[in-house]
């Protein structure tokens, strides 16, 4: 399956193949942001007995986040007889250049498609590639019978949060301790979801 992204764009989307593994591994997922999301507990004057407040705040200097190398053993290529029927990785190609990917997994017990990872190379951001990858994920979600798509994003990744909101995702939860004991300690995990259309 190849899907061109718009008549004026050269991006092609397809299921990942084993030979894509090196390019997926090498993809630059770093970002820089001048704002982050701050999570705090409400005070007595906020009128809430419990819960959390989430607000976007400026940071100076801007935050540059570089993710440590990941092992992508969980990536599922294609959908052949040896692959997990409930997981897929999709890639975005600009000519021969792999410029983005999305790894997803479906959980039948709650009919949720989890976007495990979605990355677009810095030089290709702002072209709708993330949206195109999310459309691939949503088609797979519908094939599996998913009711909703779900993802986790760091509170410092404001550019991704804004992109997900433009794609129809809303906040549905958070975890204040997920990154404790990791290089991302102090960041908060924000959970977002949207119904499967």
List pLDDT tens digits, range 43-85. Answer: 666 666 567 889 999 999 999 999 877 644 445 555 554 458 9
Q: What is the pLDDT of residues 138-150, one digit of tens each?
A: 999 999 999 999 9
Mean pLDDT of the 106-120 span: 97
User: What is the per-residue pLDDT for 77?
Assistant: 58
| Residue bearing tokens 């692959």 | 83
Mean pLDDT of the 178-191 span: 95
Q: Find out whether 104 and 115 touch, Cβ atoms under 8 Å.
A: yes
Q: What is the pTM of this model?
A: 0.87
User: What is the per-residue pLDDT for 152?
Assistant: 98
Q: What is the mean pLDDT of the chain?
A: 88
| Cis amide leading into 61 (omega within 30) | yes
**Residue 5 above 80 pLDDT?**
no
Residue of 193, 155, 145 whose CA lies nearest to 176: 155
How far, CA to CA in Å, does 145 sit from each of 12, 69, 116, 139, 141? Answer: 25, 33, 18, 10, 6
Q: Find out whether 2 and 10 touch, Cβ atoms under 8 Å.
A: no
Which has more pLDDT, 116 or 44? 116
């Amino acid at each position: 399956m190849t899907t061109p992204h718009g008549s004026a764009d050269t991006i092609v989307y397809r299921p990942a193949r084993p030979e894509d593994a090196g390019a997926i591994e090498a993809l630059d997922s770093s970002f820089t942001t001048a704002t982050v999301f701050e999570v705090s507990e409400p005070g007595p004057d906020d009128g809430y007995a419990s819960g959390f407040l989430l607000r976007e705040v400026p940071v100076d200097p801007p935050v540059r986040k570089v993710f440590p190398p990941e092992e992508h053993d969980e990536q599922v290529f294609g959908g052949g007889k040896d692959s997990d029927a409930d997981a897929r990785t999709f890639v975005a190609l600009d000519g021969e250049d792999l410029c983005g990917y999305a790894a997803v997994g479906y959980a039948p017990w709650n009919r949720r498609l989890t976007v495990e990872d979605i990355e677009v190379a810095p030089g290709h951001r702002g072209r709708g590639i993330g949206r195109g990858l999310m459309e691939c994920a949503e088609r797979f979600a519908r094939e599996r019978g998913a009711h909703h798509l779900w993802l986790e994003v760091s509170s410092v990744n404001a550019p991704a949060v804004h992109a997900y909101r433009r794609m129809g995702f809303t906040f549905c939860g958070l975890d204040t301790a997920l990154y404790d004991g990791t290089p991302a300690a102090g960041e908060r995990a924000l959970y977002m979801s949207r119904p499967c259309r």
